[in-house]
Amino acid sequence: MKTVYDFTVTDRKGNDVSLSEYKGKVLLIVNTATGCGFTPHYRPLEEMYREMRDQGLEILDFPCNQFAGQAPGNDDEIHSFCTVKFGTEFPQFAKIDVNGETASPLFAYLANEKPFAGFGKGIKNTFLKKFSDMNNKKFGEKAYIKWNFTKFLVNREGRVIARFEPTTDMEEVKKAVSAAL
């Protein structure tokens, strides 16, 4: 049976990285953007990383520009923004696509393991759904990820155990990560 450890990704310097390097860790894999309304999620992500990395947490950051062009910079510009504005220390990889024919195989796998189940209720969630639907029409059945800051929780055996949409409260994410540790 396939796990996240079967995938190789590219770091922001262009080097291949086998996710098997993270065996035995709890992973939170996130597609991000520097110009999104959810960009402030970097702060609680970094706080969680600093608090829990000694317990075995790794947060893997994959910038993506497929959602309204909200990550327009190159890998170095994005990294600089994140480290200066939010003090991020968790690993950041090369910018990728998460939807369509050019989607990262990792994100296609993650989304197939834990498909989209909705943004939740409320005005903000309803608005995001409409915007997301318009944006993702072009990807059809390969619209794996609905928006920036979708998070996948992976256990120490490399299995996807939860998916959190960007509208999920970060305290709920933190509780799930803590339980997985």
Q: What is the spatial distance between Cα 61 and Cα 166, in angstroms, rounded to a whole number? A: 14
Active site residue 82: no
Exactly one of 19, 27, 30, 36 is catalytic; name it. Answer: 36
Q: What is the spatial distance between Cα 23 and Cα 85, in angstroms, rounded to a whole number? A: 30
Alpha-carbon separation of residue 56 from 5, 59, 75, 145, 175 (angstroms): 16, 10, 26, 26, 15
Look-up of token digits 């959810």: 38
Q: What is the spatial distance between Cα 105 and Cα 121, in angstroms, rounded to a whole number? A: 30
Which residues participate in catalysis according to the annotation?
36
